[in-house]
Amino acid sequence: MQNNHFDILIIGSGLAGFTLALHLASSKKICIVTKLTAESGASSWAQGGIAAALSSDDSPQSHVQDTLIAGAGLCDENITRYVAENAADAIHWLINQGINFTGDRNNQTGYHLAQEGGHSTRRIFHSGDATGKAIQQTLLSNIQKSPNISILENHIAIDLITNDKLPKLAGTQHKRCFGAYVLDKNKDKVRTITAHHTILATGGAGKVYLYTTNPDTATGDGIAMGWRAGCQIANMEFVQFHPTCLYHPHAKSFLISEAVRGEGGLLKLPNGERFMLQHDTRAELAPRDIVARAIDFEMKKRGLDCVYLDITHKSHSFLKAHFPTIYTRCLELGIDISKEPIPVVPAAHYTCGGVVADQNGRTNLNNLYAIGETAHTGLHGANRLASNSLLECIVFAQAAARDIIDQPITDLPTLPDWDESRVTDADEEIVIAHNWDELRRFMWNYVGIVRTTKRLQRAQHRIELLHEEINEYYANFRVTSDLLELRNLVDSADLIVQCALQRHESRGLHYSKDYPQTLPNGRNTILIKKNIQ
């Protein structure tokens, strides 16, 4: 088994982790841990773009107002203003890194600005319809040029190492993170990685649901590890379901960008009739929670497998220029979006809650930070505004980098190696596959777009049973990637259900038939772990 020491340990290889690494590379020795390849995270899947008020007819205050409205009374206004006011710097930093946003000579910014649901004007900087991929590839190229940044691919973090895992420091008043245990999947060995500062940047937990726009890596790892280590968790009940995921048996998790509706795409029933105006005056440009619930309502009311997104009134050349990825993928599946509407369904998309972090990304554990979708900063409230997620990654990564640079370097204790002296190889891997499938199905059925207390309690009961099975399996057998991901998914599901049961109202992304009203004053749902594992 290998021991490794770094100044900075970043768990996750998305935009948040890459941004932080590049800001610290000149002065720190950095390790990035990623479960698959460096480009396999959700950031590369982001189609839309990054919201920033740079045009003359826009303002950061307008961006703030749109975010607050979408967040349904739960956004932290100071945090929201901080992010909106730093959006211009984020865009300029990306441009300096070499990002080529789609241009438009007729716009005074020099760029084509898209409009998406919930935004009062065009403010979305994008690179075609594959913004995340363009950004990640450019930043990765820059990271690979740095001698101070190491990337450990095919490695999955198991648990954070805190005082509680060190006999001499257990029970001390100021709890601190010293690094993490990480499974090297290539060698089937566990590394003990020590670091002065550890960053959770693992993305969300979309794979806890049967249908999701997320990649297979989105298993809530950072949120679950943070919870087990003693981090506060907030607002996990607010899971954003993207209204328009491509409905096709061979189109795994393929998203139809919000920008399609922003450019005039209309949602229709199979008979060609529009329905969104019956649900909201903003129609197709209403915030995602409203559009997703409207589609869910129409599908259940009429027994439909899907609804349709119609952009056929736009020219063939316009669609190929603005949505090349979507156009090509649909055509591969026999759908010509210039001639026929796109079949779509809602799917789990974004985790608005997560590990509680402040304006600098700090958690309640010393030397542990959380940034990106893993974190709950107060920006998204009860519903994330479109194209605020990539922006959040950059702004908070930059803030965390400044905070880390200002921190004094302290000595690290010698950390114990991973102990697997009392475990054996697993004898029945089918247990993991079965539990994974069961979890995702009952979360979709019981903890989806529309909820009831009885459904949530049923889910909670099943989660308790899965916890028992997984904990027994974890205690007796050597860890594998599948086991670790299942363990994290069950913890994430538990946190979602706990938060949902505590919210006795409907707000934003959480809609309960038992509590359809919205209370006058919104409050965050904050979970604090009593017994730390």
Instruction: Assess whether pLDDT exceeds 80 at residue 45.
Output: no
pLDDT band for position 410 (cuts 50, 70, 90): confident
Indicate the angle between helix axes 481-502 and 221-229, nearest 10 degrees: 70
CATH of the domain at 320: 3.90.700.10
Q: How far is CA 230 from CA 81, 318, 371, 408, 469, in A?
A: 29, 51, 17, 23, 22
Q: How far apart are CA 25 and CA 8, in angstroms?
A: 10
Q: What is the reported pLDDT for 210? A: 87
Q: How far apart are CA 232 and CA 303, in angstroms?
A: 41
Q: Does any domain span residue 399? A: yes
Lowest-pLDDT choice from 15-29, 106-120, 510-524: 106-120
Instruction: Assess whether pLDDT exceeds 90 at residue 357.
Output: yes
Boundary (domain end) residue, out of 320, 348, 376: 348
Short-list 338, 448, 30, 315, CA closest to 201:
30
Same domain? 444 vs 311: no
Backbone phi and psi for residue 450, each to the nearest 5 degrees, phi listed first: -120, 130
Same domain? 63 vs 163: yes
Same domain? 270 vs 210: no
pLDDT band for position 42 (cuts 50, 70, 90): confident
Q: What is the reported pLDDT for 3? A: 54
Boundary (domain end) residue, out of 333, 348, 363: 348
Q: Does any domain span residue 508? A: yes
Same domain? 233 vs 289: no
Q: Does any domain span residue 9? A: yes
Short-list 264, 238, 8, 218, CA closest to 114:
264
Helix (H, G, I), strand (E, B) or coil at 345: strand
Boundary (domain end) residue, out of 305, 333, 348: 348
Is the distance from CB of 114 to CB of 262 less than 8 angstroms? yes
- Greater pLDDT, 211 or 454: 454
Tokens representing 490 are 């069950």
pLDDT band for position 533 (cuts 50, 70, 90): very low
How many domains are there within the chain? 2
Backbone phi and psi for residue 512, each to the nearest 5 degrees, phi listed first: -115, 130
Is the distance from CB of 150 to CB of 157 less than 8 angstroms? no
Q: Which domain holds residue 162?
A: 1-238+352-410+422-515+526-533
Pairing of strands 368-370, 50-51: unpaired
Same domain? 263 vs 357: no
Tokens representing 78 are 């100071």
pLDDT in tens, 256-268: 988 899 899 999 9
Q: Does any domain span residue 38? A: yes
Short-list 16, 532, 503, 528, CA closest to 229:
532
Q: How far apart are CA 474 and CA 226, in angstroms?
A: 18
Active site residue 288: yes
Residue-wise burial string across 359-368, b where 16 or more C-beta atoms lie within 10 A, e elsewhere: bbbbbebbbb
Q: What is the reported pLDDT for 532? A: 54
Q: What is the reported pLDDT for 408? A: 87
Mean pLDDT estimate for the chain: 92
Instruction: Assess whether pLDDT exceeds 70 at residue 170.
Output: no
Distance of CA 241 to the CA centre of its chain: 12
Tokens representing 412 are 């690290």
Q: What is the reported pLDDT for 268? A: 98
Q: Does any domain span residue 268? A: yes
Q: Which residues does residue 174 pair with via DSSP β-bridges, in sequence order?
A: none
Same domain? 292 vs 374: no
Tokens representing 352 are 């608005």
Q: How far apart are CA 255 and CA 306, in angstroms?
A: 14
Same domain? 216 vs 121: yes
pLDDT in tens, 411-457: 888 888 888 877 777 766 777 888 989 999 999 989 999 999 999 99
Same domain? 136 vs 282: no
Q: What is the reported pLDDT for 1? A: 38
Helix (H, G, I), strand (E, B) or coil at 24: helix
Q: Does any domain span residue 416? A: no
Q: What is the reported pLDDT for 425? A: 76
Instruction: Assess whether pLDDT exceeds 70 at residue 506.
Output: yes
Same domain? 445 vs 530: yes
pLDDT band for position 475 (cuts 50, 70, 90): confident
pLDDT band for position 531 (cuts 50, 70, 90): low
Instruction: Assess whether pLDDT exceeds 70 at residue 484.
Output: yes
Q: Please state the pTM of the whole predicted model.
A: 0.90
Short-list 151, 135, 185, 137, CA closest to 8:
151
Same domain? 376 vs 482: yes
Tokens representing 248 are 């096709």
Q: What is the mean pLDDT of residues 469-481?
A: 88
Instruction: Give every CB contact of residue 491 below 8 A, 6+ residues apart in sequence.
Output: 220, 223, 224, 227, 228
Q: Does any domain span residue 520? A: no
Is the distance from CB of 183 to CB of 193 less than 8 angstroms? no
Q: Does any domain span residue 406? A: yes
CATH of the domain at 383: 3.50.50.60
Tokens representing 526 are 């904050």
Q: How far apart are CA 105 and CA 32, in angstroms?
A: 39
Check 288, 440, 451, 487 and give the catalytic one.
Answer: 288
Same domain? 152 vs 14: yes
Q: What is the mean pLDDT of residues 169-187?
A: 86
pLDDT in tens, 269-327: 999 999 999 999 999 998 888 899 999 899 988 999 899 999 999 999 999 999 999 99
Same domain? 44 vs 11: yes
